[in-house]
Amino acid sequence: MSASGRADEAPLVLAHDLGTTGDKATLVTPTGEVVASVTVAYPVDFGADGKAEQHPDDWWNAFCRANRLLLAKHGVAPERVAAVSFSGQMMGAVLTDAAGRPTRPAIIWADTRAESQCARLIERVGMAEVYRITGHRANPTYSLAKLMWVRDNDPEAFAGSRRFSTAKDVILQRLTGMHVTDHSDASGTNAYDQLRAAWSDELLSASRLPRRLFPEIVASTTDLGAVRGAAAAEAGLAATTRVIAGGGDGPMGALGAGIVDRASGAYAYLGSSSWVSFADIAPLHDPQMRSMTYNHVIPGQFVPTATMQAGGASLDWIASVLRPGADDRFEQALAAAETSEASADGLYFLPHLLGERSPYWNPHARAVFAGLTMAHDQGNLVRAVIEGVAYNLRTGLVAFAESGHRFAAIAAIGGAAKSPLVARILADAWQLRVRPNSMGDHATSLGAAAIAAMGVGLLDRADVRSFVGKPSGDAVEPVLDATINAERYDTFMDAYRRMEGWFDR
């Protein structure tokens, strides 16, 4: 609150959630109240052989446009924005020249072309050793193998590159001129030594990539200084606005869901990719390497996670196929599924539209409808897709339980989690209470806002629980008989096992 006490002069923080399909800008008060938000979309170039690319200039343009739309629409002077911070899509590879200009399109998390490069890493280091160092399997979806792929397949662009960044860090460069990342984003690159909290000498050596490419690693709450003058004018921000480092969308989603330590429980995120996760003081090294562990944006905490490639993306896909071009296609799809059956009627969906991470780590995996008959209609198809996502996420909860981490309830965030039907299906598939979060699809943004507020001293870490999202309404209890559900889950898992050989062919 300003000295005059006027609410329209009180400071605000600005959060940007740089996702796969667009940038969501959200204005938040220092007490955690969402004032307003706006989303500016940008395209994804999905191509042959697992290609998934975006252009960093699209991210910057969306960032600038979102700022202007948000501030103008709600009559907020740029000077009221005390700080800006970010939640960003992870595991990508952006290469820029010495001036910070992109030398080629960004390779995003969904890209799986770097299989041969990943195989070389495994040959030189060993899968178990990569997992021990990084908390993650070696996989073509991670940044390190993608950088190797650029060197091998786009040598001209690689030769002109001087910096490697992830999505949010490209915007940080434009705003401040600094080449940095935070520990949460670094932990999603396959190049970060999690126990040393530094880039891994062993993995950088094995990748044959120059150390100069890699940014300085800072805490998520680090104040990187005020927005540079030219960038401020372009972005529609005041030159007094502080830039706070921010973090990757997975750990940031944990913060936004109120998952700040082990006592906070677990949460599920249903965005383009989807995951189940919790917080702990140490990485979780699953003997079967089904899960991975990121660094939390909260110092001293880690985020064991089981992530699937196409969670919300599977729902968006089936809605777009059934209702192409319709603005309410998702709502129509859910309405069709409301009175339909899927696994109860012998219909299953393997949701591997973009290959798969947890638990299979198989870039060759593909989506499959199994058990389809002439009697099935669009409602059955949509229901099967939702159940397929739910069962695939259950594999992560099974992995956690086998490592001694069991939960009675799961907080659910992300756009799809707002649907009562989706919450009911998740509760039945997991045999757990599902607690929709009050922030829904604002959770990652709220996490970034909390980091911004902490970065400039408007929020104390001890008060972060009062800032972030709370459970909304009653928890959804499972109603499906546990034995019947277990049989259906076993059938779902069996379908993948039977298809696995075909995928590899």
Residue 293: which of 403, 173, 216, 456 has the closest Cα? 403
Percent of the chain with pLDDT over 90: 90
CA 84 vs CA 244, 251, 325, 334, 454: distances in Å: 6, 18, 34, 35, 11
Q: What count of Cα atoms within 13 Å lies in the side-chain half-sphere of residue 178?
A: 19
Catalytic residue among 58, 193, 249, 286: 249
Known catalytic residue at 328:
no
Average pLDDT of the residues in 81-101? 96
Max avg pLDDT among 149-163, 262-276, 467-481: 149-163
Residues 399-448 have pLDDT tens digits of 999 999 999 999 998 888 889 999 999 999 999 999 886 666 788 999 99
Lowest mean pLDDT among 1-15, 95-109, 326-340, 341-355: 1-15
Label residue 86 exposed, middle or buried (CB < 10 Å: 0-12, 13-18, 19+).
buried
Quick one: pLDDT at residue 9? Answer: 77
Q: Which domains, and CATH codes, for the chain?
A: 7-250 (3.30.420.40), 312-435+476-504 (3.30.420.40)
pLDDT at 252 over 90: yes
**Distance between CA 20 and CA 444 in Å, rounded?**
13
Going by C-alpha positions, the residue among 209, 179, 204 that lies closest to residue 190 is: 204
Residue at token pair 């040598």: 155
Q: What is the mean pLDDT of residues 273-284?
A: 96
Distance CA 427, CA 443 (A): 20
Write out pLDDT tens, residues 165-210: 999 999 999 999 999 999 999 999 999 999 999 999 999 999 999 9
pLDDT band at 6 (very low <50, low <70, confident <90, very high): low
- Coil, helix or strand at residue 304: strand
Q: What average pLDDT score do residues 34-55 get? A: 96
Is 5 a residue whose pLDDT tops 80?
Answer: no
How many helices (DSSP H) and strands (DSSP E) are in the chain? 17, 24
The DSSP 8-state label assigned to residue 215 in this structure reads P
Q: Which residues of 284-312 are buried (b: 16+ CB within 10 A; e: fewer)?
A: bbbeebbbbbbbbbbeebbbbbbbbbbbb
Summarised one tens digit per residue, pLDDT across range 356-372 is: 999 999 999 999 999 99
Reported as a single tens digit per residue, the pLDDT across 310-323 is 999 999 999 999 99
The pLDDT of residue 3 is 40
Of 163, 442, 148, 464, the C-alpha closest to 301 is: 464
